[in-house]
Structure 1
Amino acid sequence: MLERLFPRRKPDPKPLPQPNAQLALGALLVRVALANRQYVASEVAQIDRILSATFALGPLDAAKLRATCEALERQAPGTPEFTQILREEVDYAQRKALADAMWAVALADGARDNDEESTLTAIEEALGLSPEDIAATRENALKSPKGL
């Protein structure tokens, strides 16, 4: 009865870390996966594989990083802020590889989606990739089997 009169306040959520290249990449991967308003297990697994391979993390640490990135993406600044971090901290060849990874996430569910593709194209442009590299990345992604 007292609980109804004096409900416990939920603790303040833990503040999110300041985005760095690692978190910016993870948040953008999540953003691509969410672009079609569906977030399926195959996309989550692909994000975990990418984070694990990119940052030499074990499966549990990759999943924890993804969870932080999901929270950051929900409360985050827009795509330009994330891509600016990556442009400042990651060289061009690595940004191009990030685009390949984002395509792997977009195609992880086995379906092409216009919303995911347009989100991905906007991210690639914001990463400063050339139109030729964007086209080549798309073509390679659509030709190759999904996954890393």
Structure 2
Amino acid sequence: MFADLLKRLTAPDPAPLPDPEAKLALAALLVRIARSDGSYDNSEKAHIDRILAARHDVGQLNVAKLRAEAEVLESEAPDTVRFTRAIKEAVPHEDREAVIEALWSVVLADGVRDHEEDAMLRLTANLLGINDRDSALARQRVEARG
């Protein structure tokens, strides 16, 4: 399963991903952001689980399974540019700001804003077609929610 998805992610002109694979790719992006500072703790995992449960309306067991699959995919996935390009194709533009909010919530889940996470999120937002201003506004909305 992962080999086929990775092959599609690394294709020169990736086709839009079917919904289950788009969910997995998005979950893997959440994991990639959480791991970007070299620390991937239980608070970040729990936060990813909450995001996945809310976004995909699945139960706790399925969320844990999806995150576990995403962790494997993230570790085997190509560079962030190609990886994010496939997600950009799978997620409509109007939904990408919500993706950025979810990514910011993962970055802020452990209570520490790390410069590696900031840099990874800035790159990811740009690759998803979200400008710095809209990303900053997304971060502010996440911070306001606590």
TM-score tier by shorter-chain length is 0.7 to 0.9
Query: What residue number does 1:138 align with?
Result: 139
Unaligned runs of 5+ in 1: 1-13
SS at 1:82 equivalent: helix
* Aligned 1:1-148 pairs, distance under 5 A: 16=3, 18=5, 20-145=21-146
Looking at structure 1, the residues matched to 64 and 37 of structure 2 have their Cα atoms a distance apart, in angstroms, of 22
Q: Deviations over 1:55-84 (max 9, x none)?
A: 111011011000000001111111122221
The answer (yes or no) to whether the contact 1:48–1:62 under 8 Å persists in 2 is yes
Query: What residue number does 1:5 align with?
Result: none
Structure number with greater Rg is 1
Moved over 4 A (4+): 14-17
How far is 1:17 from its partner? 5.5
* Superposed CA RMSD: 1.7
Percent sequence identity is: 42
Structure having the higher helix fraction is 2
How far is 1:15 from its partner? 5.1
- Size of the aligned set, in residue pairs, is 132
Unaligned runs of 5+ in 2: 7-20
Looking at structure 2, the residues matched to 53 and 143 of structure 1 have their Cα atoms a distance apart, in angstroms, of 19
